[in-house]
Structure 1
Amino acid sequence: MLRAALLVLVLAIPWPVAVLAHALDPGYLELSAMDGDRWRVTWRMPDVGGSPMPIAPRLPGNCASDDPPAPRFDGRGWSTAYVATCPGGLAGGEIRVEGLENTRTDTLVRYETRPGKAVTQRLTPGAPGFIVPKDPGRLQVFASYVSLGVTHILEGADHLLFVLALLLLVRDPRRLLLAVTAFTLAHSITLVAATLGWLALPSAPVEVVIALSIVFLAHELALPPERRDPVAERFPALVAFGFGLIHGLGFAGALRDIGLPPDDIPMALLAFNLGVELGQLLFIAAILAVGAAFRRIFVFPRRASAVAAYAIGTIAAFWCIARLDAMFL
């Protein structure tokens, strides 16, 4: 497993640079049903070098609207809003994001077939459009939010790096299982609480603490077992639970950006959380599988764990400094 981790870290070193060089935030398109055949369209594009990413929504052919206002920068992306008239509704028409196929980002589309009946769809460079179904069923809504949960965790480099550090720090299978379960339980609690509005914290300091949680695990991993924090060494599940509460707030921030269908909130919450867990399990399984394969090929030095710890800590410290800097800009 350690060998697999080192391979992952070698591939991960460019992450901090990539965060600065490319827009990693998804685009966002929302169509909110108004009266009659009118929809309020909210369109948000990622920022690329101080300009909007060159992508644009294309609504079904029966929709018409005036030219949208020029987008405004909101600190992270470029947003505009306008009203579109779609006689006969959206069903059966294609919603597409032009230019998405030339990027490396996704776009989340949240549309209402009628007031209060919202569905979320994820568009990718490989699938930049979709046909609006006539009557989205509960199963489709469920599958959509499971997919969004899987995508969010697998694209969340900080959450995955925390799980990777946990895998390296806790070598006993039973204690590792308890720690991963505690992490899952904790972030599920705060995900639900924050999404439903029971708990509210600013996202910027939460992101800083998430990076600090990875720094903490990297520091512990760099130390010999006898010098590690007694709580972290003897009760890793307790540490994982504490930091999992913070990571759950990060997941909730993403889910708030996506939005929840007003008449299917419990189901969408459950589906998104299941998607996050599924993505996390897929990542752990991939690490274990790659580790088993590389044990037959490579021989690593005894201090390999220290190398892994410093690599993880360096990446996390970079994120922490960058996020602190962004807080005070």
Structure 2
Amino acid sequence: MRALFCLIIAIWLACTPKSGNAHALDPGYLDLHQLTPGTWQVMWRIPDVNGQPMRIDAILPEACTPSHGPPPIFDSVAWVSSWVAECGAEIEGHTVRIRGLERQNNDVLLRVQPLESAISTLRFTPEEPALTLPIDPTTWSVFISYFWLGFEHILEGWDHLLFVFALFILVRDPWRLVGAVTAFTVAHSITLALATLGVLHVPAAPVEAVIALSIVFLALEILKHKEGQIRLSEQYPWIVCFCFGLLHGLGFAGALSEIGLPSQDIPAALLAFNLGVEAGQLTFIAGLSVGMFLWRQVARFNPSRLSGVTRPITGYVIGSVSVYWLVERVSGF
């Protein structure tokens, strides 16, 4: 029964991703950098949607001229618009709005860099497309913004989810599974910090390919599983997770580098992002566990009849998707 439930989830995960770039961390990004007491440099980064900028626009407070920028230019990743706004009054305490965000599923991060006060980071959501700029920003606001960014990233990053899902199938002991996921988080926290701070430089394309390869490895371990025999990856999964977590951290860093970190709150932002990723992973595992429990209560058949068939099929589904990603990413070199 567990195997059948896992097969259904594997097929769902396999059918959802539409491309080799499985990272879905693609929020908008608005940066307000004060140049003089009445002048602000604005950089507005809009996500790409099928070769066109997402239909959202940043609207500055009424005291600023112009309140929105020129048509954006595509930089191979997103659509970017920049301009200098003259604001006749202090913009702290005034409202910035993302027009059209209420019709989207993405978030928008806002970083405000005043001349004489601390940098603040805010987060627009479809439910809250307008925010009042804080007069006295705090580190806590940065922490909250980046925590949710990490949480949403892991729940929308299909390759990372497929890796965690493969672990869920491979490792039967709940505490060993939690330990493996935690080791994964510790490992990717190390490389994420090193890459984000500029200590470690690795091209993104090979990293994405190796991430797909890590899922292929877990799929093979699922297929090689035999009842009564515990493989090394099942007995010491934290070793496997730690090693591959170092690689996945580089993938997280590539996504996070597109957004940037607040210069005065880098430790808080990194910690919050990693805690958000860990919370997202544990939430995903908890959801799988609850779903499997409910499945057991509803299904009325002998699971032993299907487990010997559905587990290999699940492994083949995971392996097929990850091999497809691997080939697509390698061909993209």
* TM-score normalized with structure 1 length: 0.89
Q: For 1:227 and 1:257, how far apart are their aligned partners in 2?
A: 47
How far 1:221 sits from its partner (Å)?
Answer: 1.0
Partner amino acid, structure 2, of 1:235: Y
Please list every run of 5 or more consecutive structure 2 residues that lacks an aligned counterpart in the other structure. Answer: none
The 1:263–1:48 alpha-carbon spacing in structure 2 relative to 1, beyond 3 Å, is closer
Q: 2:72: which partner in 1?
A: 71
Q: 2:201: which partner in 1?
A: 200
CA-to-aligned-CA distance 1:98-149 (integer Å, 9 cap, x gap)? 1222223322222224467332223232322212121112222222222222
SS in 2 for 1:295: helix
Matched, 1:110 2:111: yes
Partner amino acid, structure 2, of 1:238: I
The 1:28–1:323 alpha-carbon spacing in structure 2 relative to 1, beyond 3 Å, is farther
How far 1:86 sits from its partner (Å)?
Answer: 2.1
Query: 1:84-163, aligned counterparts within 5 Å?
Result: 84-114=85-115, 117-163=118-164
How far 1:18 sits from its partner (Å)?
Answer: 7.1
SS in 2 for 1:85: strand
Question: 2:60, 2:68 within 8 Å by CA — same for their partners in 1?
Answer: no
SS in 2 for 1:29: strand
Partner amino acid, structure 2, of 1:36: P
Paired residue for 1:313, among 303, 315, 319? Answer: 319
Q: For 1:12 and 1:75, how far apart are their aligned partners in 2?
A: 27
Runs of 4+ that moved beyond 6 A: 226-229
Q: For 1:2 and 1:46, how far apart are their aligned partners in 2?
A: 38
Q: For 1:66 and 1:220, how far apart are their aligned partners in 2?
A: 56
CA-to-aligned-CA distance 1:168-220 (integer Å, 9 cap, x gap)? 11113343233223212211111221122221112222112111111211122
Two-structure CA RMSD over aligned residues (Å):
2.6
Q: 2:249: which partner in 1?
A: 248
Provide the identity percentage: 47
How far 1:309 sits from its partner (Å)?
Answer: 1.4
Question: 2:57, 2:68 within 8 Å by CA — same for their partners in 1?
Answer: no
Q: For 2:176 and 2:45, how far apart are their aligned partners in 1?
A: 44
* TM-score normalized with structure 2 length: 0.88
Q: For 2:128 and 2:265, how far apart are their aligned partners in 1?
A: 26
CA-to-aligned-CA distance 1:235-287 (integer Å, 9 cap, x gap)? 32211111000111122222222222222222222122111111111111111
Aligned residues: 325
Matched, 1:187 2:193: no
Q: 1:295: which partner in 2?
A: 296
Question: 1:225, 1:233 within 8 Å by CA — same for their partners in 2?
Answer: no
